[in-house]
Amino acid sequence: MSTTTTIVTRGDRRTRLSTKRVEPIYYLFLLPVLALFTLAITVPAVIGIFFSFTNSIGIGEWSFIGLTNYLAAFSDPAILQSYLFTFGFSLVTVVLVNIIALLLAVGLTARIRFKTALRAVFVIPMVVSGIIISYVFNFLFSNSVPDAGSALGIGWLETSILANPDLAWVAIVIVTAWQAIPSALLIYIAGLLSVPGDVYEAADIDGASKRQQLMKITLPLVAGYVVINIILGFKNFLNAYDIIVGLTNGGPGTATRSIAMTIITGFNGGDYAYQMANATIFFVVAILIALLQLSVTRGRNAL
């Protein structure tokens, strides 16, 4: 990228104007990426939105039906239940993940032995496939936990919580948090390591306790990282699918069916246009949430 400087004379004043000219080589790198993004993301999305106004089942003939799919989606109890579950699950999980990850990060950046090895251990869940993790925990919740409950005489643990419509979501939160904590942990560790040590030394000299340092120094200085983890975590949890499939497959009944699972199940069941309308609604909702998060955090998330 080259810069051209132009001097403009206005009466007795001379103004220096700087204009930047983009080198052609930048377009050489940009255009292939734009083309791939358009073909792989934009075009399929536009086609999907188009078919959401039809009665298409994914193949064969179709005809326009206007807003019928959208009106039906807004009054469909199954879709409304999936939205309620997904947003409730996402809120609970993002709070749990950030609290645990921040506490672990504080501990793993303290002056303790083997902290490097411990950091490596804590990030292991991050590299394991979600579907594998869910199948392992499915076995634990269905067999090991009930056996332990029977041995300890804890009645409510003697049956699998995955079969309980009121408790199955708890298992999904636990497993999702277990996999999501490492990524949030790494971000918090990076944030804590960026805090100057002199700040804590001055606090020690002033007699501040560890709790006071955490609340008055650590949290304000890593607030930007908290914002990042909340935004990224909430976005990821809204798209929850593989862990739910491996644990409950949306059950019992439809108690733990997420939005993503409802859409994909509908595609496979011949409700292509109907669930495409649902996907479009979900896309708009996600954009609105992102805009709300940006408006709330603007100016507060500078690192």
Q: Are residues 103 and 22 in the same domain?
A: no
In sequence order, the β-bridge partners of residue 20 are 3
Q: Are residues 74 and 27 in the same domain?
A: no
| pLDDT on residue 302 | 47
Kindly indicate the confidence band of residue 117, based on its pLDDT and cuts at 50, 70 and 90: confident
| pLDDT on residue 9 | 53
Q: How big is the CA angle at 115 (ends 114 and 118), to the nearest 5 degrees?
A: 90
Main-chain dihedrals φ then ψ at residue 15, nearest 5 degrees: -110, 130
pLDDT at 301 over 50: no
Q: Are residues 97 and 214 in the same domain?
A: yes
| pLDDT on residue 210 | 78
Main-chain dihedrals φ then ψ at residue 250, nearest 5 degrees: 85, -5
Q: Are residues 152 and 25 in the same domain?
A: no
Contact yes or no for 297/227 (Cβ under 8 A): yes
| pLDDT on residue 299 | 56
Kindly indicate the confidence band of residue 72, based on its pLDDT and cuts at 50, 70 and 90: very high
CB atoms within 10 A of CB 18: 8
Query: Looking at residue 154, which CATH number applies to its domain?
Result: 1.10.3720.10
Q: Which two tokens mark 253?
A: 């009944």
| pLDDT on residue 16 | 54
| pLDDT on residue 19 | 60
Give the number of domains in the chain: 2
Question: Percentage of the chain with pLDDT > 70?
Answer: 91
Amino acid at 56: S
pLDDT at 10 over 70: no
pLDDT at 127 over 90: no
Q: Are residues 128 and 30 in the same domain?
A: no
Q: Are residues 36 and 76 in the same domain?
A: no
Q: What burial letters (b/e) apply to 258-290, b meaning 16+ CB within 10 Å?
A: bbbbbbebbbeeebbbbbbbbbbbbeeeeeebe
pLDDT at 278 over 90: yes
H helix or E strand, kind and range, residue 295? helix 272-297
Q: Which residues form the domain of 44?
A: 2-51
Contact yes or no for 247/137 (Cβ under 8 A): yes
* Whole-number Å distance between alpha carbons of 269 and 289: 29
The residues near 64 (Cβ < 8 Å, ≥ 6 apart) are 53, 54
With respect to residue 61, please indicate whether it lies within any of the assigned structural domains.
no
Q: Are residues 32 and 129 in the same domain?
A: no
Single pTM value for the model: 0.82
| Average pLDDT value over all residues in the chain | 85
